[in-house]
């Protein structure tokens, strides 16, 4: 049968769906990559005949385990933990840990799949993985979070190591959780080694890691704008989320002369037409990182409006930075954004735009920086944390920021190389192909493994 017939996108996807029933987020992530890769490999038998895309659509392994812990009332609680080790062709598995009540195997498989391409784009030697649990840290005491993290790491440590798999933070896993998990790893393994990234500065962490994902997303937008001889000065920006990525996205936009008018959390969004300046951002950091409060408190202090249960995409803007979670922008949101004059989207979150929204961006030739390119700054600095741990030294803030800036510029360059079209750049196609080629070449070199 001719290749085109066997491997049409629909046939490829129907096989994938049959093998992974009900895993909608995973289907969505693979589809988004396959639509770029299948046409690219059509006349490249080395990738096609060696079934590279098919092999990359099957994680190396998935570990799932029970996590028992006791709450403050002494009740025994049971959650499920996972680690999806997706592909280690170009380096140890690397990717975050997510604690959120909606975590499923499908969500972690999509994130691990994306991570493989993202890590490849950074140019650093890192494979792709992701892990987490359906544990909900909201409303839990520090002691409960500590007991959960210790129990989670008691099993996870069998599967990770500085040359095997190096997890980091993600939604619901910040400095506090990484510290509890690293402490438990030390206790059990008796080995001080760079087995997690996002660590505290006193015990092997890297400067700029906290800022890196948000800063990187803004740097990526700066590069897309520069490619069109434009810049941030005076641009009105929408940011969603109010966690780690959102906070440092706002900070860097402010540094570069843009104005951020929205932030959100799982309860709703705030709109401040005056702009979220440095002082207001400090309030948000304290609210979310220390007091673990709700975004609605912002308007009680600074005015503006709070929109319960809504997302910010209907607010007119020049640029948008979705930084909360997956599938937070649908086709209707994208249409409104485009008709309001939005010129660019840089994804701080993973897969925040669904496929129908992406179709709208591409049709409008919007500057669309997909997550695997735009938010790769976080894992890039995690990679630099691993390097510093191996070398047993610490680089300065300026050195790290310079490296981060160069890495984001390099990712932009790869996207342009593979995604340049007549009069515009398809950054999604560019990122998918550039990320694929490096991993695929390593897999080819290894033979059938
Ligand atoms: P945080 O936990 O620090 O913040 C998450 C933010 O998103 C919070 O404001 C949270 O609101 C909001 N949120 C979570 N779930 C939902 C939902 N279902 N609907 C609406 N809002 C929601 O996470 P991060 O900032 O670290 O991560 C945000 C995104 O960025 C994720 O997609 C993550 O995978 C991605 N990312 C993170 C990296 C990192 O370095 N941290 C690296 C690369 C990607 P609430 O406060 O109400 O929970």
252 CA to centre of ligand 1 in angstroms: 18
Q: What is the end-to-end Cα distance of the chain in Å, rounded?
A: 26
348 CB less than 6 Å from ligand 1? yes
What is the number of the ligand 1 atom nearest to the C-alpha of 376? 43
pLDDT by 10-residue block (mean), the chain, 449 residues: 61 96 98 96 95 97 98 98 98 98 98 98 98 96 98 98 97 96 98 97 97 98 98 98 98 98 98 98 97 96 98 98 98 98 98 97 98 98 98 97 98 98 97 98 97
Q: Residue whose CA is closest, atom 42 of ligand 1?
A: 378
Which atom of ligand 1 is least distant from the CA of 98? 34
- Protein residue with least CA distance to atom 33, ligand 1: 349
CA 286 to ligand 1 center in whole angstroms: 16
CB of 242 sitting under 6 A from ligand 1 = yes
130 belongs to the catalytic site: yes
- Is there an atom of ligand 1 within 6 Å of 213 CB? yes
pTM above 0.85, yes or no: yes
Report the run of H or E that residue 312 belongs to, with start and end: none
Report how far apart, in Å, the C-alpha atoms of 10 and of each of 14, 25, 38, 330, 381 are.
Answer: 6, 17, 11, 22, 37
Task: Determine the pLDDT at residue 34.
Answer: 97
Concatenating the DSSP letter of every residue in 113-132 gives: HHHHHHHHHHTSS--EEEEE
Is residue 214 within 6 Å of ligand 1 at its C-beta?
A: no
Domains and CATH numbers, the chain: 5-56 (no CATH), 61-192 (3.40.50.10860), 210-374 (3.40.50.720)
What's the pLDDT score for residue 204?
A: 97
- List Cβ neighbours of 17 (8 Å cut-off, separation of 6 or more): 27
Distance of CA 267 from the midpoint of ligand 1 (Å) = 13
* Atom in ligand 1 nearest the alpha carbon of residue 118: 43
CA of 348 to the centre of ligand 1 (A): 9
- pLDDT of 7 reads 60
Closest by CA to 86, choosing from 110, 65, 68, is 110
Which residue's alpha carbon is at the smallest distance from atom 29 of ligand 1? 349
Residue given tokens 């006349």 in the structure block? 43
Centre of ligand 1 to C-alpha 324, Å, is 4
pLDDT at 119: 98
247 Cβ inside 6 Å of ligand 1: no
Distance 294 CA to ligand 1 centre (A): 14
Q: Give the number of the atom of ligand 1 that is nearest the alpha carbon of residue 265.
A: 11
Looking at residue 8, its pLDDT comes to 85
Residue nearest to atom 2 of ligand 1 (CA): 171
Quickly count: other Cβ atoms within 10 Å of residue 144's Cβ. 18
- Identified catalytic residue from 109, 130, 140, 199: 130
Nearest CA to ligand 1 atom 4: 243
CB 66 within 8 A of CB 81: yes
C-alpha torsion angle, residues 303, 306, 311, 315 (rounded to 10): -50
DSSP β-ladder status, 93-99 and 128-133: parallel
Mutate to test the pocket of ligand 1, among 99, 136, 170, 175 (most ligand atoms within 8 A of CB): 170
Partners of 77 in beta bridges:
69
Helix, strand or coil, per DSSP, at residue 77: strand
Residue whose CA lies nearest to ligand 1 atom number 31: 349
Ligand 1 closest atom vs CA 172? 2
Q: Report in angstroms the alpha-carbon separations of 179 from 153, 183, 198, 205, 367.
A: 11, 6, 9, 10, 38
Q: Whose CA is nearest to atom 27 of ligand 1?
A: 171
Pick the atom of ligand 1 nearest to 324's CA: 7
């Amino acid at each position: 049968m001719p290749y085109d017939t066997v491997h049409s996108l629909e046939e490829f996807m129907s096989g994938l769906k049959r093998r992974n029933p009900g895993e909608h987020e995973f289907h969505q992530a693979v589809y988004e990559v396959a639509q770029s890769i299948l046409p690219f490999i059509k006349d490249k038998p080395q990738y096609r005949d060696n079934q590279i895309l098919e092999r990359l659509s099957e994680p190396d392994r998935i570990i799932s385990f029970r996590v028992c812990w006791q709450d403050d009332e002494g009740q025994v609680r049971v959650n499920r933990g996972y680690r999806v080790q997706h592909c280690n062709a170009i380096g140890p598995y690397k990717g975050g840990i997510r604690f959120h009540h909606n975590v499923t195997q499908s969500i972690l498989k999509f994130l691990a799949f994306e991570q493989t391409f993202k890590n490849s784009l950074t140019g650093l030697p890192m494979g792709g993985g992701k892990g987490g649990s359906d544990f909900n840290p909201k409303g839990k005491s520090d002691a409960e979070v500590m007991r959960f993290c210790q129990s989670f790491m008691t099993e996870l440590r069998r599967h990770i190591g500085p040359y095997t798999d190096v997890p980091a933070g993600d939604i619901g896993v910040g400095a506090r959780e990484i510290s509890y998990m690293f402490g438990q790893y030390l206790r059990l393994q008796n080995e001080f080694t760079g087995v997690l990234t996002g660590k505290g500065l006193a015990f092997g962490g890297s400067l700029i890691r906290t800022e890196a994902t948000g800063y990187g997303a803004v740097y990526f937008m700066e590069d897309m704008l520069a490619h069109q001889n434009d810049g941030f000065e005076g641009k009105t920006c929408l940011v969603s989320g109010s966690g780690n990525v959102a906070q440092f996205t706002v900070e860097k936009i402010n540094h570069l002369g843009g104005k951020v008018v929205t932030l959100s959390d799982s309860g709703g969004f705030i709109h401040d037409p005056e702009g979220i300046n440095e002082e207001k951002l400090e309030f948000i950091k304290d609210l979310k990182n220390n007091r673990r409060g709700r975004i609605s408190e912002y308007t009680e202090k600074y005015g503006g409006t709070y929109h319960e249960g809504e997302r910010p995409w209907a607010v007119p803007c020049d640029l948008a930075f979705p930084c909360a979670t997956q599938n937070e922008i649908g086709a209707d949101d994208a249409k409104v954004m485009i008709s309001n004059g939005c010129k660019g989207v840089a994804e701080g979150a993973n897969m925040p735009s669904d496929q129908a929204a992406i179709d709208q961006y591409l049709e409008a030739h919007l500057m669309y920086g997909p997550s695997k390119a735009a938010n790769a700054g976080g894992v890039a600095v995690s990679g630099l944390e691993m390097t510093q741990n191996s070398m047993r030294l610490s680089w300065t803030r300026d050195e790290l920021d310079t490296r981060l800036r160069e890495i984001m510029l390099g990712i932009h360059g790869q996207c342009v190389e593979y995604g340049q079209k007549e009069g515009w750049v398809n950054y999604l196609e560019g990122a998918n192909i550039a990320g694929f080629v490096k991993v695929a070449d390593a897999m080819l070199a290894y033979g059938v493994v």
